[in-house]
Chain A
Amino acid sequence: MLNTIWFLLWGILWAVYFMLDGFDLGLGTLRPFLAKNEDEHRIIYNTMGPVWDGNEVWLITAGGVTFAAFPTTYAVMFSTLYSPLLLILFCLILRGVAFEFRSKIDSPGWKGLWDLCHLVGSFGPALLFGVAFANIFQGIPFDKEGIFQGTLLTLLNPYGLIGGALFLLLFLVHGSLWLAIKSEGVLHERAFRTASTLWPILLVVAVVFLVATWFATPLYKNYLSHPVLFAVPLLAVVALLGTRLFIAQKREWASWFASAATIVSATLFGVIGMYPNLFPSSSDPALSLNAFNSSSSPLTLKIMLGVALTFVPIVILYQAWVYYTFRFKVTEKDLGYDEAY
């Protein structure tokens, strides 16, 4: 029971991370295409300004919880996925520093350099998280010692790439909707237009992904034995359709929440399908790491559950307060402040 609760918490933490940092990563990738002048670039950076750092901590927590609750999974997952993981981390490093440094020196060369870092640092993780998770759904080739039996290219298989495309598109739509919420005028219009242009592509990729999942992974097994679980992917589909509906109605917050619900339920679709596996081995299913054979001791799980159930709600409360405090649209006036990005 304790292990199952932790399995779910683990999945939820990743889902929340993708929901929150997803729009930063998506908007960071779209920024060069959405902004037509320096003010617009800065407005886009500043729409993420007060929240991106807090969003990123969900990743640290997801990583930390993997370490605390499932240390063997943490060890094998991160060492087998050594190169892609470090690639993601370097991207996130460049992105974070770009936020802080870009507007500190007013020269085109300096700004261009950090713009590039920010673009790469947003696009890389958006794509690679999808590739990594799709590969995990499929199973990773690793042996008894936890040694990876492949190369970086092994991960770039068709299903992995579909997963990458899915995450990328989810984040792009999510990011443009965030910009729609936080901007006004032409930028606001452009953000909505971008979301509605990208949406049909996202729909196609999502359908391809759901079909490919049937052939490439054992994810549907849990759903077939407990059909009630189909509610989760169904919710993802409904939320995705709802996103389009709200975009058409120009309801910015509603469309963003629908897009957030799509990301959360899509992530949970994969996680529930894997249960009880956290890190399946495609070399030999018996080597797969799951919520029971890779977990911490019951004492650690209990203590950590207490910590998580106390502090995660507190975090949600104060982060919600921050989102509420900074709910206003970012305008040219905000760029005049000394602290603005």
Chain B
Amino acid sequence: MDALFLSRLQFAVATLFHFLFVPLTLGLSILIAIMETQYVRTGDEEYKRMAKFWGKLFLINFAIGVVTGITLEFQFGTNWSRYSKYVGDIFGSLLAIEASVAFFLESTFLGVWIFGWNRISPKLHAVSIWLVAIASNMSAYWILVANSWMQHPVGYVLKDGRAELNDFIAIVTQPFAILTYLHATFAGYIVAGFFVMGISAYHILRKHEVRFFTRSFRLALVWSLIFAVGNIGVGDLHGKLMAEAQPSKLAAVESIWNTEKGADFYLLLIPDEANERNSVELFGIPKFLSLLALGDWNAEIKGLKSWPKEDRPPVAMTFWAFRLMVGLGFFFVLLSIVGMWRRNKLESSPLYLKTMMYAIPLPYLAAECGWIVTEVGRQPWIVYGVMKTSQAVSPVAASQVAISLVAFIVVYSLLGLAAFVLMAKFAGKGPEGPVAVSG
């Protein structure tokens, strides 16, 4: 195994692990801010207990999210130094803006929120969690603008052997970035909504703190419905942009081998990468794929065979990750609709509650699949059409990367385990303090 392969593996491990924690941060911070705002507005102590209970889980999650984010920023230098040299003029500035504009705000006010319950006024305390929520969502924007530039580079010129900035506004406001942002944050909101619903379901099933958890559940339910439905729409728009900007990714996502006009969509399809064909194509809907991907029944979709083998992304992985993500996305809508129907009789819906309990991991899985589609589907490019991943790696010894990769796997597994143990402990225990009487 060479330094390139090991570095890719290391980046995948570091990113996928990091993104187990980020989505919950994005969504739960807002939900907690809403709860605390309700407390400040109504004076209902139950909302304060909610903010504190969900806040505790939020903090356990946040700790791992933050520390694993740091290694990502530095890995561009350690493992992808040629990439960093080539695109740093653009990519580096976006990361630096993220740190100075958003990350400072998030980390500083999180400290205020944790330690400020008895030091500052309730209003100011609620403001601090809003600042955390806004900052973490802003942070996501800058990171996703940077990632979108790798997917669809705009606003640059090639000069002196590197990519140089020539239109900052174009990079920061390109539709690809905005849709990526909406798609990824909505995914995070769904993770948070299902997290709250799943844990609440556990307690309602056990008749424990029913009022507290029913209230939490209903808040998360409306929230999840909005973003589950919203993400289908956003995902569709984003997919259409992707189809135009990254035709080779589209071909892999849909496993289309031959260029076709009015391509059919198959509900059941199994790619056979070795033989450059699909071994199963069943339940076809004529011309539907062209419509889905490009918004026109007769649009031409370029097949994978139009590219030399070395210029195609890995097909099976991209294809299955995409199908799973989309399937789960619709499943979340379904679960939310069932929830809306049962919302006033949750206690007498044990089957639904049990389903929601076991559904906690699914939005995580969907979010990870989304990143696999995005990143694996972009291969062999690191910056689509501009720089190949193989040209981007640092000139470091494979042994060095092997050692750090093992360290990543060991340390991250242990941290993940510790976080899981703590979350399970506090989630299972339920809220602290006396039950509120008001409200």
Contacts and interface: CB of A to CB of B under 8 A. Distances in A.
Interface of A: 46, 49-54, 56-57, 59-61, 63-69, 71-72, 74-79, 82-83, 85-86, 89-90, 92-94, 96-97, 99-101, 104-105, 145-148, 296-297, 299-300, 303-304, 307-308, 311-312, 315, 318-319, 322, 325-326, 337-340
Given A64-B73, A90-B407, A97-B67, A75 B100 contact: no
Contact of A75 (B71, B84, B116): B84
Interface string B106-117: 011111101111
A68 B93 contact: yes
5 contacts: A64-B100, A67-B76, A74-B92, A79-B79, A318-B105
Given A75-B81, A83-B400, A325-B120, A57 B415 contact: no
Interface stretch (B32-40, B57-65, B253-261): B57-65
Interface of B: 52, 59-60, 62-64, 66-68, 70-71, 73-74, 76-79, 81-82, 84-85, 87-93, 95-101, 103-105, 107-112, 114-120, 159, 164-166, 168, 394-396, 400, 403-404, 407, 411, 415, 418-419, 422, 425-426, 432
Nearest to B88: A71
Contacts of B63: 96-97, 99-101
A233 B166 CA distance: 41
A52 B73 CA distance: 19
A82 to B, nearest CB: 5
A311 B432 CA distance: 39
Nearest to A93: B67
A339 B115 contact: yes
B20 to A, nearest CB: 14
A337 to B, nearest CB: 7
Interface of A is mostly: helix
Contacts of B395: 79, 145-147
* The 3 nearest A-B residue pairs measured at CB: A71-B88, A78-B77, A67-B92
Contacts of B89: 71, 296-297, 300
A325 B111 CA distance: 11
A93 B71 contact: yes
A54 B108 contact: yes
Contact of A101 (B78, B115, B418): B418
Contacts of A297: 89, 159, 164-165
B143 to A, nearest CB: 11
A338 B432 contact: yes
B64 A68 contact: no
Given A61-B104, A311-B100, A303 B168 contact: yes
A67 B95 contact: yes
Given A60-B73, A145-B395, A311 B101 contact: yes
Contacts, number: 226
A59 to B, nearest CB: 8
Contact of A63 (B73, B88, B108, B168): B73
Given A63-B74, A71-B92, A307-B100, A49 B115 contact: yes
B138 to A, nearest CB: 12
A312 B87 CA distance: 24
Nearest to A94: B411
Contacts of A326: 115, 119
Contacts of B120: 325
B95 A325 contact: no
A154 to B, nearest CB: 14
Given A71-B89, A297-B164, A78 B60 contact: no
B88 A75 contact: yes
A61 B96 contact: yes
B422 to A, nearest CB: 5
A228 B102 CA distance: 38
B406 to A, nearest CB: 12
A51 B414 CA distance: 26
A70 to B, nearest CB: 8
B27 to A, nearest CB: 19
A49 B96 contact: no
A318 B108 contact: yes
A74 B418 contact: no
A96 to B, nearest CB: 4
Contact of A61 (B100, B119, B396): B100
Contacts of B109: 318
Given A79-B394, A90-B411, A337-B117, A57 B103 contact: yes
A89 B87 CA distance: 24
A8 B68 CA distance: 29
B184 to A, nearest CB: 20
Contacts of A319: 104, 108
Contacts of A296: 88-89, 92-93, 164-165
A50 B111 contact: yes
A307 B97 contact: yes
A60 B99 contact: yes
B108 A79 contact: no
A93 B92 contact: no
Contacts of A145: 395
B161 to A, nearest CB: 11
A94 B64 CA distance: 10
Given A300-B165, A303-B168, A72 B88 contact: yes
Given A104-B60, A299-B165, A50 B77 contact: no
A82 B78 CA distance: 5
A51 B111 contact: yes
Contacts of B422: 101, 104-105
Contacts of A97: 63-64, 67, 415, 418
Given A82-B396, A337-B117, A338-B52, 10 more contacts: A67-B95, A71-B92, A78-B81, A79-B395, A93-B68, A96-B67, A101-B60, A296-B93, A318-B105, A326-B119
